[in-house]
Amino acid sequence: MSLCYTKPMKLRPITWCVSPEGEPTFSEMSYTIRIVDEGGGEYIEVEDKDGRIGFNSEEWPHLRDAIEMALKQTINRQ
């Protein structure tokens, strides 16, 4: 069964993994940054292996870059 769309499809990156070079995405040192929308508008979520956000000054520039990319992709940009 194929669906017929009236609008063109769009590819949107909504999840980024930030981890030390050479480490796998499931590394304990990885962070996940994602665009989330639960019906009230899009927002950014940051998660580490424990489900919490915690980072040091060396990790921050990489996280900031990914978060800024995610913010630029949100639908309700201002």
Q: How many degrees, rounded to 5, is the angle at CA 56 between CA 34 and CA 35?
A: 5
Q: Does residue 62 lie in a domain region?
A: yes
Residues β-bridged to residue 18: 31
Q: Does residue 8 lie in a domain region?
A: no
Q: Are 54 and 60 in contact (CB under 8 A)?
A: no
| Single-letter amino acid, residue 51 | G
Q: Does residue 1 lie in a domain region?
A: no
pTM: 0.68
Q: Does residue 67 lie in a domain region?
A: yes
Q: Scanning the structure block, which residue is given the tokens 């921050």? A: 60
Q: Does residue 3 lie in a domain region?
A: no
Which pLDDT belongs to residue 60?
86
Q: Does residue 59 lie in a domain region?
A: yes
Q: Does residue 2 lie in a domain region?
A: no
For 10-39, what is each residue's pLDDT tens digit? 888 999 999 999 999 889 999 998 888 888
Q: Does residue 4 lie in a domain region?
A: no
For 33-58, what is each residue's pLDDT tens digit? 888 888 888 888 889 888 877 777 78
pLDDT at 68 over 60: yes
Domain span including residue 27? 15-73
Number of structural domains in the chain: 1
